[in-house]
Amino acid sequence: AEKCTKNNTWLVVDGTQALGAMPLSVSKLKIDFLCASVHKWLHGPYGACLLYANPKLVDKMVGFDHHERNRIGSEGDKDLPFLFGSSNAENGYEMRYRPGALRLQAGGRPNPVLLPMVAEGLAQVLEWGVERVASMLRIMTSKIQAGAAAMVIPSQVVALNRKHVDAVRDI
């Protein structure tokens, strides 16, 4: 984060392998954008991802996709015609982007089947508690490390300094 601040760049983190498995604080780590697929430690379905965007930065951004879903006037289930250069919703959707992170959403519509599954997965993580999950993973990972060390040359077991990920070097 310090290097990013010094170089006037944003800190973007893919938290897929960490969120739900270990504590992570966007404010403490000064993360500007945090994304994650929910199918790992957030216990959600394939095909869904989450994004945190620093509120101080998001209104300065323009999405990669240019469509009606990220424009003012497209709230809810509205299908608005695109009329290039239009500045009011009567003639189609506006050229102005929706406020906040909604301006960054991709085209298409959220899958009504996936969203309740995402919500249930996140609720389960909150019920268990990330600290508790991290604690259990530390115990399980240390057992895996010990077993791997007993089966291979101990110097080949790589401690990755993560409490929920390990590796064994190719021997």
Please state whether the predicted TM-score (pTM) of the whole model is above 0.85.
Answer: no
Q: Which residues pair with 167 in a beta bridge?
A: 158
User: pLDDT tens digit string along 20-74?
Assistant: 999 999 999 999 999 999 999 999 999 899 989 898 888 778 777 777 777 777 7
In a domain, 52, yes or no: yes
Q: Is residue 61 part of a domain?
A: yes
Kindly state whether residue 38 falls inside one of the protein's structural domains.
yes
User: Would strands 49-53 and 33-37 be described as parallel, antiparallel, or unpaired?
Assistant: antiparallel
Cα first-last separation, the chain: 36
Hey, which bits of the chain come out as E strands?
Answer: 12-14, 33-37, 49-53, 157-158, 167-168
Report the CATH number that the domain containing residue 90 is assigned in CATH.
3.40.640.10
> Is 142 within the bounds of a domain?
no
pLDDT digits (tens, 9 = 90+) for 124-141: 999 999 999 999 998 988
Question: How many whole angstroms separate alpha carbon 136 and alpha carbon 115?
Answer: 28
The residue range of the domain holding 8 is: 1-128
What is the rounded CA–CA span in Å between residue 16 and residue 126?
16
157 is a domain residue = no
If one counts the domains in the chain, the total is: 1
